[in-house]
Chain A
C-alpha cells in the first residue's frame, strides 16, 4: 500500500473522447506529481503541484491536457480529444523521505 489511490484503474475510450483521472493521496502532502508511462519506457514527468498551485509542466503536456488540485489534496488529470498516442499508464506520486517519490497504482488508458 503506497498510500495513494487512483481511479479508474483502467479506462478504454474512443479517439476524440475526453477522459478524466483522479488521484487521492491517503494522507496530506504538499506536493503531488503526475507521470505518464508508455510501453517499454520509464515514467515521464508531466506536471507537479505544490498545494493547489501547478508549478511545473513538461513539454509533454499538450494543451489537450489539464490538471487540477483544487483543495490541495486530491488531483485530477483530464485529457480532451484523446488520441491513440495518449494510450499509456498515468501515474501520480507524492514525495516521501528521503528525497523519494511514492507512486500510486496508475490508471491504464487505452484509446481505440
Chain B
C-alpha cells in the first residue's frame, strides 16, 4: 500500500530557476511531513519538515507547502543550484513512527 506517492521520477531545471517537487499522500492520520535529500551511497539527509497544523514552512532557499484538503505537499527550491542535484524523498509519519516514504524524484539542476 503506497501511502505516499511521488509521481514524477525526475525533474530537470536550469540553475537559478525554481524547482518544484510534488508529493501526494492518502492517510489522513499523518501528522508530520518531511523532505529528505539523498546522494548515491549515502543515507537520506533531512532537509525540511512541516507539521500538519501548518500550511507553509520556510528555511532559506527551501519552502514546503502543505495542502491538507488535497493531501498534497510540495517542496520549492529557489534559486536552484547545481549542488541541489540529488534524489529527493517525501516522507510522512504519525507520532514519529513507521515513517512512509515516496519513491523519490531525481532533481537535476543544469548550470
Task: Using CB atoms and an 8 Å cutoff, list the residues of chain A in contact with chain B.
Answer: 2, 4, 31, 33, 40-45, 48, 56, 58, 89, 91, 93, 95-96, 98-106, 108
For residue A102, which residues in chain B have a CB less than 8 angstroms away from its CB?
A: 46
- 9 A-B contact pairs sorted by A residue (CB < 8 Å): A42-B104, A43-B101, A44-B101, A89-B43, A91-B44, A95-B96, A99-B51, A100-B46, A103-B46
Task: Using CB atoms and an 8 Å cutoff, list the residues of chain B in contact with chain A.
Answer: 4, 6, 9, 31-32, 34, 36, 41-46, 49, 51, 89, 91, 93, 96-104
- The answer to whether B49 touches A45 (Cβ under 8 A) is no
With the chains together, A41 CA to B100 CA distance in Å?
Answer: 11
Task: Please give me the residue from chain A that is nearest to B89 by CB atom.
Answer: A42
With the chains together, A42 CA to B97 CA distance in Å?
Answer: 16
> What distance in Å separates the Cβ of A43 from its nearest Cβ neighbour in chain B?
5
With the chains together, A93 CA to B4 CA distance in Å?
Answer: 19
For residue B32, which residues in chain A have a CB less than 8 angstroms away from its CB?
A: 98-99
